[in-house]
Amino acid sequence: MKKKITIIGSTGSIGTQALEVIEKISDEFEIIGLAAGSNVDLLNKQIEKFHPKTVCLGKKAEIADKSVKVLYGDEGLEELCSNKENDIILVAVSGKIGLRPTISAIKNGINIALANKETLVMAGDIVTKLAKENNVKIFPVDSEHSAIHQCIKDISQVSKLIITASGGPFLHKTVEDMKNATVEQTLKHPRWNMGRKITVDSATLMNKGLEVIEAHHLFGFDYDNIEVVVHPQSIVYSAVEYADGSVIAQLGLPSMHIPIQYAITYPNRIEGIKSKSFSFAEIAHLDFEKPDFEKFPTVKLAYQAGKEGGSATICLNAANEEAVFAFLDNKIKLFDIYAITKKMYNAHNIVKNPSIDEIFAIDEEIRIKTRELINN
């Protein structure tokens, strides 16, 4: 029997790559739902190819195939993700819009392939508790967390998680270069082709900070036992250290196809989209270095927020995102992103154990205040 899957965020970077994966292993999967924000043309093409029964769109628009049930907006997304027919839902939307549908899926006992950062950064405690209560598995799609997931056999014997970071376009540039960086230079990521917001986060290393917070929630590790190491080649996706000192790493040529596929086919490995075979000899050498916290202070701030817990990570995420948008609009400089995030963070009164409604309210409040700070 084919596994039934729904993809939310099907027209985005991860969503389109997931469909490439599923097209290749179509004997294993049936797509029963797709959701997209506003790219109706691409969604229509995806419907033609994959024949989902239900789709969801951000707002009203014409869907060519009249046999498809069409839902809209946040409510539609929640309905799509509550459908118990699903064996797994791939959450590939970016932003807080991914949070409520993920919770709906978990409450309905549906396993999650998670590519949405905000779910764990904003509501990690609630989401992991709900998953446990409903016996739901959360399979990470992000390459670093996928690697850790692949390296762990018995989690009780693992002593440390080691997350690799490519270091982004400014790794070997000076602080001065970073201060004067243009949007164009910042968006030139050396290894990965991703959306604009995450590419800026990769340049400041905030992306790595957020991944540390996600790893804490996904694997239940203390922040002191999660380490970030810079690895410019992005061949070692990430690693774990066992109690006896043995380190197991997962390696591959940089491609999102492997982590996406593993999240939906776990525990099976099937051929799928195989790029060329891995060659240690061709790669020849792998470099590693400590992250420079002076150049990339965001990582330290993320650790601090993670350790403080409660609403601290909501504040970090919201202030950073608003600052990144302002940078992309040429309103502020690259280094201002950290300065603004830090200022907002220091002014924030942490709320312990916020509810989902409180999480959204805090997120909104921080965003408004951050925009005010930027505009003054």
- Least separation, in Å, of the C-beta of 133 and Mn ion? 28
Give the single-character DSSP code of 324.
Answer: H
Residue list 17-36, contact with Mn ion (CB under 5 A) = none
Q: Which stretch binds Mn ion (CB under 5 A): 136-144, 197-205, 299-307, 368-376?
A: 136-144
C-beta nearest to Mn ion: residue: 142
- Say how far apart CA 164 and CA 236 lie, in whole Å: 7
- Least separation, in Å, of the C-beta of 207 and Mn ion? 6
Question: Is 324:200 a contact under the CB 8 Å cutoff?
Answer: yes
Cβ closest to Mn ion, residue 144 vs residue 363 = 144
Residue with the two structure tokens 């312990």: 352
- Least separation, in Å, of the C-beta of 211 and Mn ion? 6
Cβ closest to Mn ion, residue 37 vs residue 209 = 209
Cβ closest to Mn ion, residue 8 vs residue 14 = 14
- Least separation, in Å, of the C-beta of 205 and Mn ion? 11
- Least separation, in Å, of the C-beta of 363 and Mn ion? 22
Query: In sequence order, what are the residues at sequence separation of 6 or more whose Cβ sits closer than 8 angstroms to the Cβ of residue 340?
Result: 319, 322, 323, 326, 332, 370, 373, 374
CA 120 to chain centre: 9
Q: Which stretch binds Mn ion (CB under 5 A): 27-35, 141-149, 274-282, 358-366?
A: 141-149
Cβ closest to Mn ion, residue 142 vs residue 321 = 142
Question: Is 158:240 a contact under the CB 8 Å cutoff?
Answer: yes
Query: In sequence order, what are the residues at sequence separation of 6 or more whose Cβ sits closer than 8 angstroms to the Cβ of residue 140?
Result: 114, 146, 148, 149, 214, 218, 259, 263
Residue 297's nearest CA partner among 344, 341, 347, 238 is: 341
- Distance linking the first and last C-alpha atoms of the chain: 59
Cβ closest to Mn ion, residue 311 vs residue 317 = 317
The angle subtended at Cα 72 by Cα 355 and Cα 45, nearest 5°, is: 125
**Of 22, 93, 106, 142, which lies in the binding site for Mn ion, with binding defined by CB under 5 A?**
142
- Say how far apart CA 169 and CA 272 lie, in whole Å: 31
Pairing of the two strands 158-165 and 236-242: antiparallel
Residue list 266-295, contact with Mn ion (CB under 5 A) = none
- Say how far apart CA 29 and CA 5 lie, in whole Å: 7
Cβ closest to Mn ion, residue 4 vs residue 145 = 145
Cβ closest to Mn ion, residue 144 vs residue 322 = 144
- Least separation, in Å, of the C-beta of 32 and Mn ion? 28
Cβ closest to Mn ion, residue 86 vs residue 116 = 116
Q: Does 363 bind Mn ion (CB under 5 A)?
A: no
- Least separation, in Å, of the C-beta of 71 and Mn ion? 30
- Least separation, in Å, of the C-beta of 67 and Mn ion? 38
Contacting residues toward Mn ion, per CB under 5 A: 142, 144
